[in-house]
Chain A
Amino acid sequence: PLAADHHDEL
């Protein structure tokens, strides 16, 4: 899996 965009989640 790809690294999630962790600045998107709160």
Chain B
Amino acid sequence: MNLFRLFGDMSHLASILLLLYKIQTTRSVRGLSFKTQALYVTVFVTRYLDLFYDYVSLYNSVMKTFFITSSCYVLYLMKKKYRPTNDPSIDTFRVEYLLGPCVLLSLIFNYRFTFAEILWSFSIFLESVAILPQLFMLQRTGEAEAITTHYLAALGAYRALYIPNWIYRYWMEDQVDPIAVTAGIVQTALYVDFFYVYFTKVLQGQRFELPA
């Protein structure tokens, strides 16, 4: 565990707390993509199956359990409690275009050709693109509440911080995880546009609005 990773994980934790805070205070899931949230549940469930057969540390188990339960809770809030505030008509990204290639990639690139390892690999590839329905929705509506953009910024920061973590591990621990690194770089790159608007507008006190 190095500081980049610790801060990355804390940023990931913060992003989920921001997401829950946004939903509870505005009593609305407006501006959130159900598809992205459902993809995150898929990511966490397929990746953290190792909770049942591979104990790493208390920290590791607690975080994995938190990510699975909180993401399922968000789905419940979107589909049940605040259902009337969810607008599927603007959440139109075709998820099958993400799932298909991820299945294919995980069958080709994995560390062992076993069910659990293929699922792990699938979850890594899927996580790298899971934010796309959300970013697509943002692009369509052209604006977002500040709190929603803070959520996305924390999520993006988590991914960005994993990159120096891998560099650190490469040099200091002589360890490398090519699948996670490749997917992680792709995932971080997807946030570049968002971060540009976030830094130039939201952090300057302006509304998050995309040019028409």
A binds B: yes
**Which residues from chain A sit less than 8 Å from chain B, CB to CB?**
1-10
> Is there an interface contact between A4 and B54, defined as CB atoms closer than 8 Å?
no
Dominant secondary structure at the B interface: helix
> What's the nearest-Cβ distance from chain B to residue A9, in Å?
7
Residue on A with the closest CB to B64? A10
Q: Could you tell me the dominant secondary structure of chain A's interface residues?
A: loop
In the assembled complex, the Cα of A6 lies from the Cα of B50 at a distance in Å of 11
> Interface centre among A1, A4, A9, by most B CB within 10 Å?
A9
Binding site for A on B (CB under 8 A): 5, 9, 12, 50, 54, 56-57, 60, 63-64, 67, 111, 120, 162, 169-170, 173-177, 179-180
CA distance A10 to B63 in the complex (A): 8
Known: A1-B175, A1-B176. A6 touches B169 (CB 8 A): no
Structural contact, B177 and A7, CB atoms closer than 8 A: no
Q: Chain A residues near B12: list those with CB within 8 A.
A: 10
* Contact assessment for A7 and B54 in the assembled complex, using a CB-CB cutoff below 8 Å: yes
List residues of chain A with CB within 8 A of the CB of B173: 4
Q: Are A7 and B56 in contact (CB under 8 A)?
A: yes
A3-B176, A3-B177, A4-B175 given as contacts; is B169 within 8 A of A10 (CB)? no
Among residues of B, the one whose C-beta sits closest to the C-beta of A6 is B177
Task: Please state if A6 and B174 are interface contacts (CB–CB under 8 Å).
Answer: no
- Tell me which residues across on chain A come within 8 A of B64, comparing CB atoms: 10
Q: A1-B170, A3-B111, A4-B169 are in contact. Are A9 and B177 (CB under 8 A)?
A: yes
Are A10's CB and B67's CB within 8 A?
yes
Q: Which residue of A lies closest to B51 (CB)?
A: A7
